[in-house]
Structure 1
Amino acid sequence: MSDATSTTPACPPVTSPDLTTFARVDALGLRVDAQQIWPDKAILFCSLVTVDDRCPRCGAGGRVHDQVLRRFTHLPVGRRPTWLSVRVPRFRCDGCGRVWRHSLKTVARPRSKLTRAADWWALCQVVLDHTPISGVAAVLGISWDTAHMAVTDVGTQLLIDHPGRLDGVEVVGVDEHAWRHTRKGDKYVTVIIDLTPIRDDTGPARLLDLVEGRSKKAFKTWLEAQTDQFRARVAIVAMDGITGFKTAAAEAVPDATAVMDPFHVVALAGDKLNATRQRVQRELTGGRGRADDPLYKARRTLRTGRALLTDKQKARLSALWAIDEAVPLEVTWLTYQDIIDAYRHPDADVGKKLLTSVIDRIKTAVPAGLEELAQLGRTLEKRRDDILAWFDHPGSSNGPTEAINGRLEHLRGIALGFRNLVNYRLRSLALHRRQWSQGRHLSDPARWRSGGSGW
């Protein structure tokens, strides 16, 4: 085969790369003077671009006393760790005689072994790519503790202390879940969610914070720690049936409307239905249900909406209602179905009237033998305003809060559990950071050029 030829002009000569720009140290106020390439790492010898010789105490000029070398871990080149060896001048003041070292605040955080750009890279790896801390540490050539400290410090500054994190929040959802299953310490956290995007149909719900405990004090303390502008802007608080959350919202944000979402109302009615079935089961058989018992076999059918029942399920219920002792269960089941139908009605005004009639019917004078239904009636009457408020604010359901709780449970399972609430809080916020403006604040190239110092 003959040699291949080309009619394209010759390529221009290759020039030496500008290592200062290539290594992205210009944003740190450094320039590269030399380099060493090793099989397992690269070392860049740098110096400061601008030097300030004014004494920080008296402001007088100083003269160079000596130089010291500081080593920092920088952005990796490929998968190879990169070190910066920076010559830092020390000065002696001609006025007061003080000796000081030039500030490196543009290069790294105080007492940090990583440059600001490396801090930002590590945080992006954890938040955007879900890279474990051990993987970040391996690429940077540092210890796990050093990588974890960098991600924690920068993540706290960005995810927790950033002033714009709570901008535009008008609908707040609150719930709780168990973050660990040990006997040591409080195992519950209060989860606070921004439901404003759900109401406005502009995006998914967003995790705002996690607070230790699940009491009135936990939620109220968090609300009172926010600014007056934030509390004045909160118009709706969606919650479950915990009275402490209701009281905390009433005291901390008195102008906000409390909304008890349909999920928890139906779940509450379902619990009373199940308790009634278990009581009737014990009265009929003297013990717990078995596989062949009609009441036990119908336990899932009873929780199915009547509009969704199959012919087989309808026949099973008809056989069940033929039992005289099952009358309390039938009455409770009808109330349970009426609550579901009220929420499923396409007209919110009609649905509100239907649920109002249910509450009025069972709030008092429930016949004997319907203890569980009487308890349900007292609870619904106590939270009447919160329950009916959902029909006026249908986009304020706490369902997305439950969904985020599920995501947090999955995160905890992946990590095989957490022992430190600070780490759990930070990793949970990092997981949902991508949902805040689709992560553009982390992936913005301008942030890379500035080493993340814009935050």
Structure 2
Amino acid sequence: MSDVTSPTPATPKITAPDVNTFARIDVLGLQVKAQQVWPDKTILYCAPVLPDSTCPACGATGGWHDTFTRWFTHVPVGRSSTKLQVQAPRYRCRGCGKVWRHRLKTVAQPRSKLTRSAVWWALREVVLDHCSISAVAAVLQTAWGTVHDAVTELGQQVLIDLPDRLEGVKVVGVDEHCWRHTHSGDKYVTVVIDLTPARDKTGPARLLDLIEGRSKQVFKSWLNAQSLGFRAAVEIVAMDGFTGYKSATAEAVPDATTVMDPFHVVALAGDKLNRTRQRVQRELTGGRGLRNDPLYKARRLLHTGVNLLTTRQNTRLDTLFASEDHAEVEVTWSVYQSIIAAYRDKDRTAGRRALTRVINSLKAGVPKALIELAQLGRTLHKRRDDILAFFDHPGTSNGPTEAINGRLEHLRGIALGFRNLAHYRLRSLLEAGGFRPQLHSHL
């Protein structure tokens, strides 16, 4: 056995509580003189530590004139709000006679009712913990507008207006997004996503901007508004089947490669399969599908990938396609499954060849009865280069764009809807702009 004994750990020193440090009042340049603790809030009576006696007019030193009182909302303790009653002096200049208040610059922004620490706390709650402005205002026991103005102003300043926020963007995703479900006004916007981190596997995709409208001109104007360096760095633009986005890309960033991502190609083929099933259903029954109609019962089964089907599901499909009345659905289903299989092929070269064969076969000729399949063939042939470009640029997909759209839907649910698009844009950028590292560095 070793004769060396391990040192006894030092006992932590117990000191008297310091409310200035505990409530983080010291960082505001204040000192607590007294306190009142209520069940739902705490009131701290404070005074400035350092004077502000330099005359703002002539620079001479002033003397005490009288005292004024200001109230601030500070960082809460748990769910209990903290209010500060600050008594500060007013000064009179000995030279020019000017009277001025202690400006309390370290406590809060001019005319703000929230301390600087409270604003940072509110911004963290909104961005990191996905709280609504109403929930934050309820904890602080202050008005919704006070919290909203403070959070959006600070968020705009330290997160959104960062000079290097658009640097390093090489892969851009663009899609439309419905920001409100009402009949008044335009309800669609264009979202622009940075897919570079997702492609390079360095982090999640992030929202770059949210623009009112959904058209070629909207996206083109946004691209043209960016710096020449930004446009020169963009290598790939991932999009859906809307040709307006493709035209805008070709004109604003002509050197970039346009990619129609698999999500929208498969969704397009799935839509044609669904329309074929509905048309055949109407032709056979004279109306919409009922609960016990074979085609209606198989509506979800038809969209399941072949490699995911169970034995029972395969048997159901064999029974469904045994009827000659369902031949058109079977042909469209076969094309749909071929597209999925091409994208799922681990060998990208083989997948590209397989999808090329599908596009060529649809272009070569489709029976006139298969209206939906013919439409699909024309679309795939028209966007052929964009569709096949996916196999040359692995990891480029608009899937993360759809994920961010889902986060924005969740944001609207948290806020119980938005009526102001400017507020929605700011909150969306704070929610999905990828600001967590920057925000953590400020806390």
Paired residue for 2:84? 83
Paired residue for 1:35? 34
Q: 3-state SS of the aligned residue for 2:259?
A: strand
Residues 66 and 91 of structure 1 are in contact (CA less than 8 Å); yes or no, is this contact kept in structure 2? yes
Partners of 1:384 and 1:47 in 2: CA distance: 69
Paired residue for 2:337? 337
1:165 deviation in Å? 3.1
Q: 3-state SS of the aligned residue for 1:376?
A: helix
Q: 3-state SS of the aligned residue for 2:396?
A: coil
1:217 deviation in Å? 3.1
Residues 336 and 15 of structure 1: CA distance in aligned 2, closer, same or farther (over 3 Å) = closer
Paired residue for 1:5? none
Moved more, 269-278 or 324-333: 324-333
Partners of 2:423 and 2:344 in 1: CA distance: 41
Residues 359 and 380 of structure 1 are in contact (CA less than 8 Å); yes or no, is this contact kept in structure 2? yes
Partners of 2:81 and 2:213 in 1: CA distance: 44
Paired residue for 2:166? 166
Moved more, 301-310 or 267-276: 301-310
1:375 deviation in Å? 1.1
Deviations 1:332-359 (A, max 9, x none): 2222222122111111011111111221
* Partner amino acid, structure 1, of 2:45: L
Do residues 442 (structure 1) and 439 (structure 2) align? yes
Q: 3-state SS of the aligned residue for 1:241?
A: coil
Residues 165 and 106 of structure 1: CA distance in aligned 2, closer, same or farther (over 3 Å) = farther
Q: 3-state SS of the aligned residue for 2:169?
A: coil
Paired residue for 1:46? 47
Moved more, 171-180 or 32-41: 32-41
Map 1:274-423 onto structure 2 (within 5 A).
274-423=274-423
Residues 10 and 177 of structure 1: CA distance in aligned 2, closer, same or farther (over 3 Å) = closer
Residues 90 and 101 of structure 2 are in contact (CA less than 8 Å); yes or no, is this contact kept in structure 1? yes
Q: 3-state SS of the aligned residue for 1:258?
A: strand
Deviations 1:223-265 (A, max 9, x none): 3333333222222221111222222222332222211111110
Residues 171 and 238 of structure 1 are in contact (CA less than 8 Å); yes or no, is this contact kept in structure 2? yes
Partners of 2:15 and 2:280 in 1: CA distance: 88
1:271 deviation in Å? 1.2
Work out the number of aligned pairs and report it. Answer: 430
Q: 3-state SS of the aligned residue for 1:299?
A: coil
Partners of 2:239 and 2:438 in 1: CA distance: 30
Residues 31 and 49 of structure 2 are in contact (CA less than 8 Å); yes or no, is this contact kept in structure 1? no
1:67 deviation in Å? 5.3
Structure 2 gap ranges (5+) = 1-9
Q: 3-state SS of the aligned residue for 1:153?
A: helix
Map 1:131-280 onto structure 2 (within 5 A).
131-280=131-280
Partners of 2:320 and 2:390 in 1: CA distance: 34
Deviations 1:1-38 (A, max 9, x none): xxxxxxxx99989568483x55545544x342733435
Partners of 1:185 and 1:124 in 2: CA distance: 33
1:422 deviation in Å? 3.3
Partners of 2:13 and 2:241 in 1: CA distance: 73
Moved more, 346-355 or 320-329: 320-329
Moved more, 396-405 or 409-418: 409-418
Structure 1 gap ranges (5+) = 1-8, 449-455
Residues 305 and 337 of structure 1 are in contact (CA less than 8 Å); yes or no, is this contact kept in structure 2? yes
Residues 153 and 93 of structure 1: CA distance in aligned 2, closer, same or farther (over 3 Å) = farther
Q: 3-state SS of the aligned residue for 1:163?
A: coil
Q: 3-state SS of the aligned residue for 2:426?
A: helix
Residues 34 and 46 of structure 1 are in contact (CA less than 8 Å); yes or no, is this contact kept in structure 2? yes
Residues 167 and 362 of structure 1: CA distance in aligned 2, closer, same or farther (over 3 Å) = same
Residues 52 and 362 of structure 1: CA distance in aligned 2, closer, same or farther (over 3 Å) = farther
Residues 260 and 386 of structure 1 are in contact (CA less than 8 Å); yes or no, is this contact kept in structure 2? yes
1:395 deviation in Å? 0.6
Q: 3-state SS of the aligned residue for 2:300?
A: helix
Partners of 2:13 and 2:368 in 1: CA distance: 96
Partners of 1:225 and 1:48 in 2: CA distance: 48
Partners of 1:204 and 1:143 in 2: CA distance: 34
Q: 3-state SS of the aligned residue for 1:111?
A: coil
Residues 287 and 31 of structure 1: CA distance in aligned 2, closer, same or farther (over 3 Å) = closer
1:383 deviation in Å? 1.1
Paired residue for 1:4? none
* Partner amino acid, structure 2, of 1:442: L
Deviations 1:162-212 (A, max 9, x none): 334333322222222322211112222322222222111122222333323
Q: 3-state SS of the aligned residue for 1:120?
A: helix
What is the aligned-residue RMSD (CA, Å)? 3.3
Percent of aligned pairs sharing the same letter: 59
**What TM-score results when the alignment is normalised by the length of structure 2?**
0.84
